[in-house]
Amino acid sequence: MKEFIAAAVQIAVKPNDVNYNLEKIGFWLKTAVKEHGAELVVFPESITTGFAPGIPSEEFYDLLNYIPGPETDQIGALAREL
């Protein structure tokens, strides 16, 4: 069995701020790969939307991401680049 480094990333996000959260995802993805040699990097669910209890459901539904979609395409492109 080949050994490899995996990174689990838990970061503070801004509720309802997808662009800010995508920037942080990119930063920590690069850090995990370049500084720690990670070959697998995982983030928690709702990382792009910054979902938090108490957000009105109508606001949350406006932020939902589709897979595939622009957000996953952006993260995937960076992952392929690294």
Confidence (pLDDT) at 19: 95
pTM: 0.85
Matching residue, tokens 């662009």: 19
Q: To which residue do tokens 């040699």 refer?
A: 37
- Contact between 76 and 44 (Cβ < 8 Å): no
Please determine, for residue 60, whether its predicted confidence score (pLDDT) is greater than 90.
no
pLDDT tens, residue by residue, 5-52 = 999 999 999 988 999 999 999 999 999 999 999 999 999 988 998 877
Domain regions of the chain by residue span:
6-81
Q: Averaged over 52-78, what is the pLDDT?
A: 86
